[in-house]
A and B are shown apart, each in its own frame.
Chain A
């Protein structure tokens, strides 16, 4: 299986092409959609002024402001991280984006890690103990929780823990002008991270739990699990080494489908908790109609999501050797 994994099959090539097409569609849309907007900067600036522009002057101005920029040039700028200036913040868009990105990666990465690990282990254990009252209650509770969107959990957690109990800060990612030493700083960041993180974990956890439990239920009934049991292997080994490995496959495949929800949720949660990540940047850009920022944030997040998808597809192939043998 490991040997096969390095060989690029025809199917892998199809996958690469799919993702390349998706990435170019997104790039092209981010280039062309703003160009469909009525009006432009040069007309808006000089249209009502006393200055009458000759055709050459107008063309020169349009060139200067990059309005007739070709797609090739746009791509070059993207690669060089020359993403233009934000109208609202008066800074390069790349600086804004890269100062926001680490916070989002910290928030989403830890939320996914925690909800994946806990959800998976809880799902496996729940399937193992199926039909006990506690397990039934847990599944019911998780189904209800799955129905509560991030907007709602976020606002409720904010209300209870930040405003009523005041255990956690209601905004920000670190204390401003804190000047703290390393450990205190880390604790401060964790303190600020807790609320948005809990919101996201509450949103992602039920899905992971239910998916793992359902796929584990199917796996447990398989003959090879019975064989392992008959061999007298310790239950923990059967559960995790034999069964859970296969139960993981649907969880990974479904992850891609659920990612659309998760991204949307993360945008909203960042805004609710005023966490200075990409979501809040996007929200502020939308509120200020800051088009260059919206354009770049949308494009770059899409490309990042595509990259994650792509990595997942390969992870899936590695987990499930059957795919390689079947095709």
Chain B
């Protein structure tokens, strides 16, 4: 489609820093359990001790090693974002392509559903479900993606409507290609770079929500999370814990949100000329 978006992206400093940060956090998320010097649930250490050679970031009030906690928390937040964003991406691309391709009643129902879901504030549903049922984070991530797909599917639908008229898709149809074949072999591969914007934007939302839910105390307290670490550390704000207990999770969370923000912004910038033409009307 956009012929040299690769070259443009490779020159964009925001994209490069986003990719660098993603690589860093991917490694930390994958290797976290091996890099952590202690188990984050091990409560054997002297509570609230300052940083030392054995405990790089000191020990928290429960006698747990903060550095190990941090590594596990990064992993959990990262995984939550990836699960949520990829499910939302899958749903959004599939339903968007289906709605655009089939049109008619299918389109009407799917887009009406999308409008309703867009209007519903996702965080409120998450708070209600998390407060009542204490579900597993994966379940919450899936609920979130069930609420987040509409923005992606609206973009994909608009693009599908454009592609539907293009010569090669009409040719493929003429040759007897079925709907499933054309969606899988033509529409979805051709809209490739467009998904990435949606993926980055949704990952950003998901990580932000995860951190906030954990901060509000809605997630399993034994599951390490950046938001929860900040919330616990903040209870000891009057002590000298700012530099080694409070700021590390804050910096990590900021860097993670920055990573997806940079990716989303640079991708949108590069792919925007097409987006602008293909997406008239309202984008709620």
Contact = CB atoms under 8 A, between A and B. Distances in A.
Nearest to A142: B265
A147 B258 CA distance: 4
B135 to A, nearest CB: 12
Contact of A263 (B123, B253, B257, B259): B123
Interface stretch (B3-11, B87-95, B211-219): B211-219
A25 B120 contact: yes
B257 A18 contact: no
A51 interface: no
A326 B282 CA distance: 12
A23 B120 CA distance: 8
B14 interface: yes
B102 interface: no
Interface residues of B, number: 52
A286 B283 contact: no
A120 B237 CA distance: 36
A301 B126 CA distance: 13
Contacts of A259: 121
A323 B282 CA distance: 9
A37 B131 CA distance: 11
A264 B209 contact: yes
Interface string A18-46: 11011001100110011011000000000
Interface stretch (A122-130, A178-186, A250-258): A250-258
Contact of A294 (B128, B230, B242, B284): B128
Residue from B112, B121, B254, B284 whose CB has the most chain A CB atoms within 10 Å:
B121
A309 interface: yes
A147 B22 CA distance: 14
A247 interface: no
Contacts of B118: 256-257
A206 to B, nearest CB: 9
- Chain A at the B interface: SS class: helix
- Chain B at the A interface: SS class: helix
Interface in A281-327: 282-283, 286-287, 289, 291, 294-295, 298-299, 301-302, 305-306, 309, 313, 316, 323, 326
Nearest to B231: A271
Contact of A260 (B122, B127, B230): B122
A301 B124 contact: yes
B119 interface: yes
Interface stretch (A54-62, A100-108, A151-159): A151-159
B121 A143 contact: no
A253 B282 CA distance: 7
B127 A282 contact: yes
A256 B250 contact: no
Residue from A37, A156, A254 whose CB has the most chain B CB atoms within 10 Å:
A156
B105 interface: no
B123 A264 contact: yes
Contacts of B255: 147
Contacts of A260: 121-123, 205
B262 A156 contact: no
B124 A34 contact: no
Residue from A19, A37, A144 whose CB has the most chain B CB atoms within 10 Å:
A144
Contacts of A218: 276
Contacts of A155: 230, 234, 246, 250
Interface string B91-131: 00000000000000000000010011011111111011101
Interface string B60-98: 000000000000000000000000000000000000000
Contact of A22 (B119, B250, B262): B119
Nearest to B283: A253
B217 A18 contact: no
B145 interface: no
A148 B258 contact: yes
Interface in B38-57: none
A224 interface: no
B212 A21 contact: no
Given A147-B261, A156-B250, A26 B234 contact: no
Residue from B124, B251, B257 whose CB has the most chain A CB atoms within 10 Å:
B124
B175 interface: no
A220 to B, nearest CB: 14
Interface in B143-196: 151
A158 B230 CA distance: 13
A254 B128 CA distance: 26
7 contacts: A147-B258, A149-B253, A152-B250, A152-B253, A210-B265, A286-B131, A301-B121
Given A253-B284, A263-B121, A267-B212, 7 more contacts: A19-B119, A29-B128, A30-B128, A36-B133, A155-B234, A155-B246, A263-B124
Complex A-B, nearest 3 residue pairs according to Cβ-Cβ distance, in ascending order? A147-B258, A147-B261, A22-B119
Interface of A: 14, 18-19, 21-22, 25-26, 29-30, 33-34, 36-37, 143-144, 146-149, 151-152, 155-156, 158-159, 163, 170, 210, 214, 218, 250, 253-254, 256-257, 259-261, 263-265, 267-268, 271-272, 282-283, 286-287, 289, 291, 294-295, 298-299, 301-302, 305-306, 309, 313, 316, 323, 326
